[in-house]
Amino acid sequence: MLIEKDLSELTIGHYVVKIIQQEGNCSLIESGNIKSKSVIDLLKRKNVYRVLIDDSKTLITSKITDNTDSTSNSAVNRENLKQAKAIFDQSKSIQKKLFSDALSGSSLDLSPVVEVTNKSIDAIFNSPDSLACMLNIREKDEYLLEHSVAVSVYITIFARYLGLTRDIIEQLSIGAFLHDIGKIKIPDKILNKPGKLTDDEFTIMKTHANHSINIITQTPGISSLSLEVAALHHEKLNGCGYPFQLKAEDINQYGRMIAICDIFDALTATRVYKEGFAHGKAFAILRELAKQEQLDSRLVDQFIKCVGVFPVGSLVQLKSNKLALVKVRNDEDPTNPQVHSFYNVQLSQFHNKQEIDLSCCEDSILKGVRAEEFDLDMNTIVEMLLMEG
């Protein structure tokens, strides 16, 4: 039975079909059960006043409680991933249009960026690891499009972890989404050069930051915070960054955050001419950059805790010589998450998939790896193991 309810009457377990009354433009990505109080709180912050529920699909509280452990441990299910993939694909499509407009000198339309970043934020609030998992499924020849989307996702996850307000998170997410828009002005032979850039080429490459600032400044409706966070993404605490060579005292927390997110994604992403690093190697590089006073060491440590030593959706090699995909983080024992094993390294062949809780078995993680090391395709692996549920 379909029933209208005021938000004050909404409880965990109710199946929400659609929003009936609100002040704003909040939209449900899909119908579903309320699984935590944080979802209701989010609707309140979005000024939603009345919703339509399907009472026949209401879950009793005990069923929700039974699932609490897996939810708090950031389990990712099929529906979360389908939703995340849709958002990621939409983000790339919007990013492609933005680059086209910037190249032609047209003013950027901010409204689709606001819409899709808010969808990302809502998805991350509901299932923090789903979009992060999608970042492991990348196209080698779409780095320019996917990088800005990924940095926007990472800074959203990071800002949520740090407890920043929704309003601030929205502005950070938009700024990160646009931060590399100026790269469309860089000649392709420099932008996609497989080898090391010459000094003259690097000088040209660095101008992308100035181009980004100019383009974003001219975008109607952009906030000063979104512009600022985009402008600061290549500044370093020791003053060796660009375009302004700012030093620590002039770089705020948001600028320090996006620098970490930007470098981390650049390190882990695979491109046509470069294989990405496994997460553990990328974390080590971030820590080394912090020692060199390029990055904020406190924030680097917090970012690593936020992303997780072995993030959901990442690939690991077990001591038993099996490959496995991390399915559920273990925040109490980060080195022993729940995984899906699926591949025998010695035999170079797939085996029947097996769910393993490493916190209560003799097997353990040997190291984080990348699919390319074993001539495997990450898209296929995630589709096979996670999209099936």
pLDDT digits (tens, 9 = 90+) for 35-64: 777 678 778 877 888 888 887 777 754 334
Average pLDDT over residues 59-77: 44
At 117-139, the pLDDT tens digits run 999 999 998 877 777 777 877 77
pLDDT of 388: 55
- Does residue 30 register a pLDDT over 70? no
Least confident piece of the model among 198-202, 259-263, 317-321, 328-332: 328-332
- Cα Dmax for the chain: 68
- Does residue 69 register a pLDDT over 50? no
Average pLDDT over residues 326-338: 87
Local confidence band at 77 (pLDDT 50, 70, 90 cut-offs): low
- Does residue 306 register a pLDDT over 50? yes
C-beta separation of 371 from 381 below 8 A: yes
At 190-216, the pLDDT tens digits run 998 988 999 999 999 999 999 999 999
C-beta separation of 329 from 308 below 8 A: yes
**What CATH class does 78-307 carry?**
mainly alpha
C-beta separation of 331 from 73 below 8 A: yes
Could you state, in order of their start, the residue ranges of all structural domains in the chain? 2-66, 78-307, 315-385
At 253-303, the pLDDT tens digits run 999 999 999 999 999 998 877 888 988 899 999 999 999 999 999 999 999
Distance (Å, rounded) from C-alpha 126 to C-alpha 316?
A: 26
**Candidate ranges 2-11, 72-81, 221-230; pick with highest mean pLDDT:** 221-230
Distance (Å, rounded) from C-alpha 371 to C-alpha 135?
A: 14
Full-prediction pTM beyond 0.85? no
Q: Whose CA is closest to 272, among 372, 145, 142? A: 142
Average pLDDT over residues 129-154: 85
Local confidence band at 68 (pLDDT 50, 70, 90 cut-offs): very low
At 81-102, the pLDDT tens digits run 778 889 999 999 999 999 999 9
C-beta separation of 216 from 242 below 8 A: no
